[in-house]
Structure 1
Amino acid sequence: MRHPAVILFAMLLPLGLAACGEPEDTGPGRPVAHRREAFKSILRAFEPIGVSLRADKYAPDRIIAMAEQLNRVKDGPWGYFTPGSDYPPSRATAKVWSEREQFEAGRRAFSAATESLLAAAAARDEARVRAAYEVLEATCRDCHKVYKR
């Protein structure tokens, strides 16, 4: 028979871990929650392309579909970076608001790179798709270095 303390610990552990979660977005209009969901939509379209390319399993029809989806959702998060929306659970740094022009330039670079990936995918040129994916990935990485905690 197991020791009662072990059983109690096993039962309480999930509750304790749940309490350690991020705070809920309770701000007016929930901009943090909306932009995070929009970024997740971007990732759901972007990541399968990278998985396919990293696994050397170029699937042009699937990549076209994902690139089209990515192009549809690419503008989702940006309108939710509103003044005063830098509260938890936001992971945005203060530079999003203090360096607004640079942040906007990063958004434009992301948008252009998304369109380039879609054009490369539509051309069914694997080398072009790989190059466009790398450029797009770099726009994400560069923005996250400065504007995400």
Structure 2
Amino acid sequence: MSRLLSSSLLAIAAAFALTACNEEAKDTHPDQLVSKRRAIFKQFTRTLEPMGLVARDRKDYNPREFNISALELEKLSKQPWAYFTPDGNYPPTHAKAEVWQKPAEFKAAQDQYQGTVSQLVKAAESGDLERIRPAVNEVQKSCKTCHNQFRDDTGS
């Protein structure tokens, strides 16, 4: 019985140790820059994903709802960049050093993204799904391009 208890305690301890290793560093910056920009990026995703479903015919198209989402995404598209300050490169960021080393390129990626979102808003206002589909794809492509260049997905 004690051997079983000992094995169980060892397994529990190992599970806690693995969990602790996977736990991401806390945002300890006084201004919580990483936390603020992450919250906005998560809202990007929550806003854009349903529009992607509409564009791929996996969700019914509601023109009013879609237009509201496009306008919300446009508003969000201007927000996270202020939190990429010179002192904003600290754990637990996933931003690559290139954000700070290549500010002109990072700004160009922001502008590209905002431009694709503006085109999506225009497409949404038209109510024409044949215009909306490629506009959604361009926004998603812009996200991916920026992530590839400026986001470290390895978790470091």
TM-score interval for Structure 1 and Structure 2 normalised by the shorter chain = 0.7 to 0.9
Gaps of at least 5 residues in structure 2 are none
**2: CA distance, partners of 1:14 / 1:76:** 37
Q: Which amino acid aligns with 2:93?
A: S
Deviates more, 1:22-31 or 1:6-15: 6-15
Q: CA RMSD in A?
A: 2.1
- In structure 2, the CA distance between the partners of 1:51 and 1:7, relative to structure 1 (3 Å rule), is farther
Query: 1:26 corresponds to which residue?
Result: 28
Query: 1:135 corresponds to which residue?
Result: 138
- Partner SS, residue 22 of structure 1: coil
Q: Is the 8 A contact 1:39 1:76 kept in 2?
A: no
Using the TM superposition, give the Cα deviation of residue 74 of structure 1 relative to its aligned residue in structure 2, in angstroms. 1.3
- Does residue 112 (structure 1) correspond to residue 115 (structure 2)? The answer is yes
- In structure 2, the CA distance between the partners of 1:116 and 1:12, relative to structure 1 (3 Å rule), is same
User: What are the superposed Cα offsets for residues 18-50 of structure 1, whole Å, 9 maximum, x if unpaired?
Assistant: 552110110131111111111111111111111
- In structure 2, the CA distance between the partners of 1:48 and 1:14, relative to structure 1 (3 Å rule), is farther
User: What are the superposed Cα offsets for residues 66-124 of structure 1, whole Å, 9 maximum, x if unpaired?
Assistant: 11211121112100000121111101111111111111011011111111111111110
The one of 36, 39, 43 aligned to 1:37: 39
Q: Is the 8 A contact 2:50 2:59 kept in 1?
A: no
Query: 2:93 corresponds to which residue?
Result: 90
Gaps of at least 5 residues in structure 1 are none
Query: 1:17 corresponds to which residue?
Result: 19
**2: CA distance, partners of 1:92 / 1:12:** 31
Q: Is the 8 A contact 1:60 1:124 kept in 2?
A: yes
Deviates more, 1:10-19 or 1:49-58: 10-19
**2: CA distance, partners of 1:70 / 1:143:** 16
**2: CA distance, partners of 1:74 / 1:81:** 14
Q: Count how many residue pairs are aligned between Structure 1 and Structure 2.
A: 148
TM-score, normalisation: structure 1: 0.87
**2: CA distance, partners of 1:118 / 1:49:** 11
Using the TM superposition, give the Cα deviation of residue 10 of structure 1 relative to its aligned residue in structure 2, in angstroms. 5.5
- Partner SS, residue 27 of structure 2: coil
TM-score, normalisation: structure 2: 0.84
The one of 71, 78, 81 aligned to 1:75: 78
